[in-house]
Amino acid sequence: MHILITGSAGFIGYHLSRRLLAAGHTVTGLDAMTPYYDVRLKQQRHAMLAEHARFAAITGKLEDPAAIERAFAAAPEIVVHLAAQAGVRYSLEAPFSYTDSNVTGTLAILEAARRTQPKHLLIASSSSVYGMAGKASTELDLTDRPVSLYAATKKATEAMSHSYAHLFGVPTTCLRFFTVYGPWGRPDMALFKFAEAIAAGEPISIYGEGRMRRDFTYVDDVVAAIDRLIGVAPVEGAPVSAADSLSPVAPWRVVNIAGGRPVELMRFVTAIEAAMGREAKKELLPMQPGDVTDTAADVTLLQTLVGEVPQTPVEDGVRAFCEWFKGWRR
């Protein structure tokens, strides 16, 4: 199949592109190469993908009509829209970058999908839409109380995609990712920051005074789930169970992408220390605005749709990241 992946030089986009290329698919990657973090990391990811003859890279922003036109020129059968302005905390500093990329940019993707009618459109959302859930979140839970602008733009992404699925019939699945981590991860994420600080002998900042929990999800497990979901497009009027988030008026659903095993933040830190071979100097700090204390996913729907997915233990995933990180840092 011909698959278009936006954000192909990003963390998840790179890993998904690599998996799909290895499976024999043709992949077009669209990425803006924005400097939110070190662009050289994105360039390295794309360079590795470019070693495959069936990979074609397009550089351009989602808001650029010419870039979108080039990306959809061959009418891809599958579209996986991962490109977005990420990060809860950065949304306090640069809010318009979130509406430009996550709202206006997603609208451009929806308009292109309306014209080309792919067999399945998959769109990145986030566990952030659940806000202060305080329990294992299911896809049927209300998500109308976001506590960050980032979460609000992801909620908008879901709402817009539902309206397009209803109006124009493009089967659409929104993917609610839960704290994805692993090799080639983003430098703004906690794992990367902690490993960098430990390697440099500097203190790490632990917000929420270490009392937070996250449903950490290893990147290989995430892309395995996406790969399987590609072939499971929603069909209006055909829910798979009572827990299905399938819309009653559109071929549209949301799916949690997670391991379903929340981990205390301090256990995560201990795993990093073990993998780095050095104890961290810890600064316990209050919660930051926009952060949530716990994330936890109910993965019943995901398992119903695609069967059991890999669930890499956090110690194994952190060890794999740190092994990559040490080599990359050198």
Q: Examine the residue annotation and report whether 130 is marked as an active-site residue of this protein.
A: no
Catalytic pick among 14, 98, 130, 150: 150
φ/ψ of residue 98, rounded to 5: -80, -45
* Cβ–Cβ under 8 Å, residues 76 and 2: yes
Q: How far apart are CA 242 and CA 249, in angstroms?
A: 16
Q: How far apart are CA 98 and CA 64, in angstroms?
A: 15
* Cβ–Cβ under 8 Å, residues 306 and 229: yes
CA-only gyration radius of the chain, Å: 19
- Terminal CA-CA length for the chain: 38
Q: Which of 103, 100, 105, 283 is nearest to 208 (CA)?
A: 283
Other CB atoms within 10 A of residue 260 CB: 18
Helices (H), the chain: 11-22, 39-49, 65-71, 95-98, 106-116, 149-168, 190-200, 219-230, 265-276, 300-306, 314-329
Q: How far apart are CA 137 and CA 37, in angstroms?
A: 30
Q: Could you write out the DSSP letters of every residue in 256-275?
A: EES-S--EEHHHHHHHHHHH
202: left (phi over 0), alpha (psi -120 to 50) or beta: beta
Q: Cα 281 from chain centroid? A: 30
Q: What is the DSSP letter of 63?
A: T
Catalytic residue numbers, as ranges: 150
